[in-house]
Structure 1
Amino acid sequence: METVSYERSDSIARICLRGGARGNPLDQATVDALAHSVRRARADQAHVVVLSSAGPAFSFGGDVSAIAAAEDTEQTVEDLAESLHRIVSDLHRMDAIVVSVVRGTAAGAGVPLAAAADLVLAGSSARFVLAYTNIGFSPDGGSSLLTASIGLHRALHLTLLNPVLSAAEALSMGLVTQVHPDEQLDSAAEEVVRLLRAGSRTAQVASKRLLREAATPGAEAALRRETLSVRARAASLDGREGVAAFLAKRAPDFPSSR
């Protein structure tokens, strides 16, 4: 089954997560397909890239069941994190202006994936939760880069306490740029695309480069630190207990907190 689709028309590339029946979990196959689509958009010299999802959720984040089933948990987590980080880096570095369109839940790596866009549009049904520490993991996918958008203490609040943010709350803290009723979200996204297409591409590219470099000058190093940290957490007793508790749908009993 196709988990990611790619379409290009009139210098607009549309990338859609299509594992909606399962909440668009980010397993290695899906992440590889997403990376391929991002590379295609870059090769096609798209002016605008629209990243969206099919189904009721944007993405539940990393596929915890796949991680639990892996023979080598550490390597599996490292490979997945590195693949996600290459996508985030490509979205940041590409000339195209990236617009993400979020409906329903964005959890775990689904949050920084949506936030990797230059413009983040959310439907009123959108909900955002990091949830990494709930399973004894540290955040990856570019989560540490959120400090540039929402500030250190808000990022720590989201990471340590794992609140579920409504679309309105995400807007108020700067995680998203626009919120619309779900039934108007597609038309609002098309209007954003129209405005971008009508503007100066060279000016937009220059602006994106200047602002991103100013906001996250150490992005690549930060992404590598995330990979090393989440790999270590996945191998830890807390990480193993967190994954087991998640799959069993029970509260975790973390060894480090006993």
Structure 2
Amino acid sequence: MKIDSNETRSVAAAANAPAISATSATVPAHAPRVDLYVGIHKALRALMTDTLVAVGRMDTADDLDTAQITHRVLELMDFCIAHLGHENEFIHTAIEARASGASGVIARDHEGHEKEISRIARAATGLLQLPGDARAVPALALYRELALFIAHNFEHMHVEETAHNAVLWSRYTDAELVDIHNRLVASIPPAEMMFVLRWLVPFMNPAERLEMMADMQRHAPPPAFEAALEIARPHLSDIEWGKLMRGLGLPPVPGLVTV
């Protein structure tokens, strides 16, 4: 998974970061159940819609603009493939261990998504091989195919967040769900983790954002925590940043945060 050039220096710092909490490792009795999907699906929805809008605005006569935006499409496709792999390996395995067959419909969706991802990646790459005056029609086709892919994924994620969560909540304790989540996150390479954080942290609500970052503040090496804050800061409003800093007990100053 590729990340922006201004984020590359933060990758190494996250190598020893602890798992990003699904909610909290210790869940009060009155709290909602641990949701393995909510955070990453917010990140996916944000990334998908942002990429779709970019494709719709692409200047196909401009080589640089076309190259940058098709690169973003390919990054999204890479992220989707990685996400499918994580769900298949950890969440579907957990579901099948205690409810055989319950992940079958979504697993078949995943197979279909992999084929769609390959088609979209080929279409995006193909744009770069065309002269500028021949890109407009295939670019519009790419936009529409990407829109349908995203629409299918939105419906797919809703099923996971409802039907799959119902299975998981009926068969696993919160502590077991946190363990599944932590093992999944521990398997993610540092560069991919930084890419996830860029789309995860800004699109959480303030309570979710504070909970996740407070967990990192408590358990991550300081450079990893600082790297996560540095990645999130450009994508938060001043009000959102101020709320986060107050919650973490840190001064809301620009730039790097000393921890």
TM over 0.5: no
**Larger gyration radius, structure 1 or structure 2:** 2
Q: Which has the higher strand share?
A: 1
Return the structure number with greater relative CO, CA threshold 8 A, min gap 6.
Answer: 2
**What's the TM-score, normalizing by structure 1?**
0.37
Question: With structure 2 as the length reference, what TM-score do the two structures score?
Answer: 0.37
More helix by percentage: 2
